[in-house]
Structure 1
Amino acid sequence: MNVIDVILTKRDRGVLSDAQIDWVVDAYTRGEVADEQMSALAMAILLNGMTAGEIARWTAAMIASGERLDLSSVPRPTVDKHSTGGVGDKITLPLTPLVAACGAAVPQLSGRGLGHTGGTLDKLESIPGWRAQLSNAEFTAQLRDVGAVVCAAGEGLAPADRKLYALRDVTGTVEAIPLIASSIMSKKIAEGTGALVLDVKVGTGAFMKDIDRARELARTMVELGGAHGVRTVALLTDMNTPLGYAVGNAMEVTESVEVLAGGGPADVVELTLALAREMLDAAGLPDADPAAVLAGGQAMDAWRAMIAAQGGDPDAPMPAARETELVRAEADGVVTAVDAYAIGVAAWRLGAGRARKEDPVSAAAGVFLHRRPGDPVRAGDVLYELRADDPARIPAARETAAGAVTVGAAAPAPAPLLLDRVG
């Protein structure tokens, strides 16, 4: 095999053979193919696409680059959920223990935030003592004993994806649907789950701004899951407005605990229950009632057990920001829109996110919304607050968020949270 031939095939809109795909993914993982060569191939894939057969083989090659977890010792049916990322998207936190409390086992390998979208591991690490790194044995044992685990993927899981993901981020090839789909699905299939529910975000604060491209991504991932024996469905959900009121690591944990306690924002509760129903159905537990379990407190019990199993103190006070600035309405009216992207970038500028994978994040930083679309306001009412540990971060965040909350004369038409279902 010759990497130049592989690049030229895709550059000239050809179809890569199974042998070419197997070889180039393996050779790149081993270092035989250089970053600049894989960059050229990734760009050719972005520009010219891949057939369904190519995407399936590429995904299989990435799975084969590392280990595949065996969850056969777990007595409950296994089901996972993956979100393509959004602003205020803390759904994994209440959803994982809720589904576990309904009788399934949830093996949730999660990631960290990059740019304006938050990462589940960053949120959970704001809980004192909680640790993200588990061995495979610890992962499987916790899944058996507690029924829920959220942790970082081990080094041995789909190492080809880890290397290619970092490369795509710095070469302008992140948007390639074949590479997005194979990246997500290689990790989820390798973790050994029996079923998977995808939450594909659509809107200003999402990676996919256009619903047609979101549907294409959803269909591609659902087909990949089915081809590998993982029952997969996808929900397309709105991400023009942040989820809930809290955008920032510790704040989002607090809001998630409010949901588990029977309260919390209506949109967070709605999406948590919608995804829970899909997960339980995919796991073969269609008669479970997640709303009743949430109201009964069993999900909170599962949350406390899950956090404690990974060294966290579920009763510990959450970190609080040292600096807070309130932003107020200048006139009477009704909130007509809250721009998820602008709020997400503002939270990132305050320290809640990172520009590079190695950057630290602030647990307490972020944006807390006081008003959402449809809420009436009077001049002087607080629209949102900016929270930071470093006061020098506030001016840039204030500028970014300046036009994020729009106040008008008439209430907007209610926007549906659930847009479509694929699978």
Structure 2
Amino acid sequence: MSTITIAGALASLLPEGLPVRLTAYDGSTAGPADASMRLDLRTERGLRYLVTAPGDLGMARAFVAGDLAVHGVHQGNLYPLLELMNNQDRWRRPNAAEALELVRGLGWQHLTPPPPPPQEHLPRWRRVVEGLRHSRTRDAGVIHHHYDVSNRFYELVLGPSMTYTCAVYPTADATLEQAQAEKYDLIARKLDLRPGQRLLDVGCGWGGMVRHAAKHHGVTALGVTLSLEQAEWAKQAIDRDGLGDLAEVRHLDYRDVLEEDFDAVSSIGLTEHIGVRNYPSYFGALRDKLRPGGRLLNHCITRPHNRPTQTGAFIDRYVFPDGELTGSGTIVAAVQDVGLEVQHMEDLRPHYAMTLAGWVDNLVDHWDEAVAEVGEGTARLWGLYMVGSRIGFERNEIQLSHVLATKTDDAGVSGYPLRHTF
């Protein structure tokens, strides 16, 4: 009869000295008894999640489903635990022989995967039922999966700005709201927005850039989003702010915008959903919306290298289905290849880590209301995802890039000043 215990098996995947206490539903324990943080595997289903999907996906399934409880930190902010667990000097994966021995000891019945939590999206290979990758139907479906959770939930997490993209902190002690306002104004300054001009904001979310440009720069601004809930919220915010004569948000695919000759186009957090193979058509479509001398600002998450990579299993199933990232060099090349002239590029990586920390603080501060709005599993999911993303930005596994370009005319005139003015 095997002497392998569940807690012992889990602990065997971690080097000795990791200050986490492990307990399991079979009564077994491992790790220091006085540890400040504890992982409690409550159910056999949780073990099957861990065994059948080793790594971040199995851990996420067990945590979201409530089968893996975490003690010693807030359920909405696992940063102290994940920072420790993501330290590569402390983590290891079993080799094939070790994995076989563990499964034999724990029982072959644990190789049957249970149904995933309801928050999980279909795996990539099954999404063909929704259309080809990055088809209009499938894009609309994955946007609905992530963004149409609950406007009230987003209000609790994002704060009054309702801005779900990286902020720009003018100082280290600035508030999240100050940093979001600075982000929008930085983009407006990069685009050199002036009264009477026309702005197109693709993937506009809840209309933050549209409202900022209209209110503070006198611009006629049009935003488009594939999320119906975002569009409805944005329309109400525009009416509330009395901006109806300048600002508009439509529930529309950016490819279906009929207007042209915009003075500026902003793309803030949309490129991540496009797919690297679609960059030529994407940036070509944005170029075609600009007048000669017009400007494009592309704001998106990138990799610290230029190899196209799909997001990990957890992010793909729970957060950004079909998401794909690459480096800023690939973005710059794609923008240049459609005939736009790149004027400036910068990396705002530390700002996104700070932004995510602010969102997690908001989630913790409004935890009970957030759970009442979307359920505890979804609230735990969002805390897990945001903390994991924060760590990714802190460790330079992901970056945030701004690329500014102009539509230079046939005579080589871009309208860009001799030096940057922003």
Q: Does the alignment reach a TM-score above 0.5?
A: no
The answer to which structure, 1 or 2, has the higher relative contact order (CA under 8 A, 6+ apart) is: 1
TM-score by length of 1: 0.21
TM-score by length of 2: 0.21
